[in-house]
Structures are given as C-alpha cells and as structure tokens.
Amino acid sequence: MIVDAFYAAPALLILALGVYTTFVRDTFPATVGFLAYGLLLTVAWVQLHGVDVALTEAAIGGGLTGLLLVRASAKLRATEAGARAQRPSLALRLAAAVLCGCVTLALAITVLTLPDPAPSLAVEALAHIAPTGVGNPITAVLMAYRAMDTLLESIVLLLALVGVWSLAPDRAWGGRPGPRYNADPDGILAFIARVLPPIGIIVGVYIFWVGADAPGGKFQGATIVAAMWLLTLMAGLSDVPPISRRWMRVLLVAGPAVFIAVGIVGVITTGTFLAYPDGWAKPLILVIEFALMPSLALTLGLVLAGAPERPAP
C-alpha cells in the first residue's frame, strides 16, 4: 500500500502539473509548472531505476530547458496581452480538446497493449560490453554500439548554436552574445557566483568521469559546467567572448572533430570506421569524451547566452 502510494504520488503529480502547464494562460506560471514537472519526472526515472535518464532529465530536460524558458518568458512579457487577444474561437478550441483527448486515449490504449516484459537489447548490450572496456552499458551504447548517433548528435547541437546565432542582426555578427549583465558586485548573486562554480565544476567533472562505469556522462557533466559559467555571466563577473574569436570556434568544433578523427583511426587500424582496436577501446573512448566535454559545455553555454547583440569593437 505504502509502496503503491510511493509510485503513484509522483505519477499523479506529473499528470496534474502537465494539465496545469497546458491550461494556465500566462507564460511565466507555465514555465514554473514545466520546471516542477521536470523535477518530478526526474524522480519518476529514479524510481524506474533509470538513473542515467534521470540525470539527463534533471540537467537538460529540467535545468537547461527550464532556464531557456524562464529567459524566454521574461522577454515575452511585453507581448503577452497581444497573444491573448488572438485566442481562437470556442469551436476550434473544443475541436482541439476533443482531438487531443482522442489521441491521448489512443496512446493510452496502445501503451496497455505493449508486451510485458518489453523486448529489449539490454541483455545483449551487457553481453558485448567487455571489448569496450567500459562498465556502464549506457556508455557502451553511446560510445561503441551506436557511436555514430552520438557523433551526429554532437553536430546537431552545433547546428542548434548556428541557428541561435542566425537570429543576430547583420551588424552584430561576430560580436558578443546577449546583454552585458550588471549585477550588484556585493549582492547575493555575485556571492553565489563566486562560491558555487568551484564546487559545481568539480561535480560536473565528476559526473563526466564516472560516466564510464556508473550513471553520468559528458552531456550531463557539460550541462553543469555550462550552468556554472552562465552563473558567473549573469552575476556580471565575466563576459561572453565575441563569437568571431578563433580559439572559441576551434574549441566548439574540437569535440566532433576528434570524434571523427578517432573514427578514422579505426579505419586505419581495424579497417572499420568508428571501430576500436583490441585493448584500445577504453583509452580512445576517453580521448573522445575529453574532447567532447569542453565542446559540449561551451556549446550549451553559448546556446543559452543567445544571439550576438553587441558588435565587436
């Protein structure tokens, strides 16, 4: 009974928050609802023993996306009244509600018909883990079995950044992203931004490092490091470099570039792209991850920093 409640409570709350986030009219409360929703989803994943997913949800789904949405809603406040005036007609809203209900119902029925236990490749992923040299099967999936997907995802992130930059006005191209933040140098934000980053960076690097054998990994670690960087930015302690800086561009592409280079090493040594020679899997995976982590942290931080707004001098 208590166990049931333990599982049911987050599930019900998630549903309630989902409904709240959908129905609330204002952007900011919806964002807050979404943040809470993300936190509860993290709890649910932990309950389902998906700690890797939980970490990702907390870092990226809740944290990073939440931060993006909070900043977007702050910018959108001025337009809110106008958006509300464009409310569609009652008939249209009813049609949308009925259709959403139908789709939800169809999905719910579908989920109930799925085979239980679900067929899974988990056993096979564990059975072949030895040659990869890593202990966490999820890392084996990401860095060995499906390394190509991970490589391409790191390029997706880079393209997302290019997309953010594309919103810049022509004259600001090459300049610094976002506004320059001026926080009170003796205020609480500046204080936190001085105290927290050393700890946060260690936590981020730790989560990155244990990813080889335990839940964690570069994406989650990079998000935490990026968050620390943003904290110092928003406290006015540092500024974003102009996007035309060569070192920054090189750092951005270094991760995917090293990934491809290691793939080519596979071609030279084993004849197959993205294959690791015997006994070299773990070190090569580490090389990729060490190259990817800073690239990812920088990319994520810059995505949040926004489009260039201030022309470089």
Partner 1 sequence: MIPDASTTPGGWLLPLAILMPFVGVLAGLALGGRHARSVAMLTIAAGLAAAIAIASAALRMGDSLVYVLGGWSPPLGIALRADGIAVAMIVAVAVVITGIGIYARTDFATPRGVGEARAPMLYWMLLLAVWGSLNLVFVSGDLFTLYVALELLTFAGVPLVCLDGKGETLRAALRYLVYALAGSVLYLLGVVLLYAQYGTLDIALLAPRVSPGAATWTAMAMMTAGLLAKTALFPLHLWLPPAHAGAPPAASAVLSALVVKGSFFIVIRLWLDVAPGLVGLPAAQLLAGLGAAAILFGSVIALRQARLKLLIAYSTLAQIGYLFIMFPLAFDGATGMFVHGDALNAGILQAISHATAKAAMFMAAGLVYKSCGHDRIADLAGIARASPLTVLTFVFGGVALMGVLPSGAYLAKKLLLAAADGSGQWWWESVLVTGGLLTTSYVVLVAAQMLRRPAADAPPRASVPRPQELAALALALCSLALGLTAVFGPVPSSFLGNPLAPKELGATLMTIAGGTVLALLFASPLPPLPAALSAVASRSRRVTLPLGAVLEGIDALLRRWAVAGVSLLLVALAFGLLMHGDV
Query: Toward partner 1, which CB reaches closer, 200 or 294?
Result: 294
| CB of 159 closer than 8 Å to CB of 252 | no
Q: Which of 11, 12, 167, 202 binds partner 1 (CB under 8 A)?
A: 167
- CA–centroid distance for 6 within its chain: 28
239 binds partner 1 (CB under 8 A): no
By the rule CB under 8 A, 130 interacts with partner 1: no
Site string for partner 1, 43-82 (x = CB under 8 A): ----------------------------------------
Backbone dihedral angles phi then psi of residue 308, each to the nearest 5 degrees: -60, 130
Structure tokens at 156: 């997706």
41 is an interface residue for partner 1 by CB under 8 A: no
Least Å from the CB of residue 308 to partner 1: 9
> Quick one: CA dihedral 98, 104, 105, 110, positive or negative?
positive
Measured CA to CA, the distance from residue 214 to residue 153 in angstroms comes to 22
Measured from the CB atom, the residue of 77 and 93 that comes closer to partner 1 is: 93
**Degrees to nearest 5, angle at CA 29 with 23 and 34:** 80
- Which residue, 21 or 270, has its beta carbon nearer to partner 1? 270
Binding part of the chain for partner 1, among 70-78, 155-163, 190-198, 219-227 by CB under 8 A, reads 155-163
Query: Which residue has tokens 């994943």?
Result: 45
Please tell me what DSSP assigns to residue 133.
T
Q: Toward partner 1, which CB reaches closer, 131 or 179?
A: 131
- The minimum distance between CB 223 and partner 1, in angstroms, equals 18
144 binds partner 1 per the rule CB under 8 A: yes
100 near partner 1 (CB under 8 A): yes
Nearest approach, Cβ of 161 to partner 1 (angstroms)?
Answer: 9
Residues in contact with partner 1, total (CB under 8 A)? 65
Closest CB 95 distance from partner 1, rounded Å: 5
Taking the C-alpha atoms of residue 183 and residue 165, their distance in angstroms, rounded to an integer, is 25
Cβ atoms of 254 and 299 within 8 Å: the answer is no
- Alpha carbon distance 131, 134 (integer Å): 8
Q: Does 114 bind partner 1 (CB under 8 A)?
A: yes
Q: Which helix (H) or strand (E) holds 81?
A: helix 80-85
Q: According to the binding rule CB under 8 A, does residue 202 interact with partner 1? A: no
Q: How many CB atoms lie within 10 A of CB 194?
A: 14
Going 246 to 249 to 251 to 254, the CA torsion angle's sign is negative
Can the peptide bond before residue 117 be classed as cis, meaning omega within 30 degrees of 0?
Answer: yes
Alpha carbon dihedral 235, 237, 243, 244, in 10-degree steps, equals: 160
Note whether 15 binds partner 1 by CB under 8 A.
no
Considering only residues 177, 256, 301, 306, which one is a binding residue for partner 1 as defined by CB under 8 A? 256
> Taking a C-beta distance cutoff of 8 angstroms, is the pair 219, 211 a contact?
no
Considering the complex, state which of residue 148 and residue 202 has its C-beta at the smaller distance from partner 1.
Answer: 148
Nearer of residues 29 and 169 to partner 1, judged by Cβ? 169
Q: What does the binding site for partner 1 look like in residue numbers (CB under 8 A)? A: 88, 92-93, 95-96, 99-100, 102-103, 106-107, 109-111, 113-115, 118-121, 124-125, 128, 144-149, 152-153, 155-156, 158-160, 162-163, 165-170, 173-174, 244, 246, 249-250, 252-253, 256-257, 260, 263, 266-267, 270, 272-276
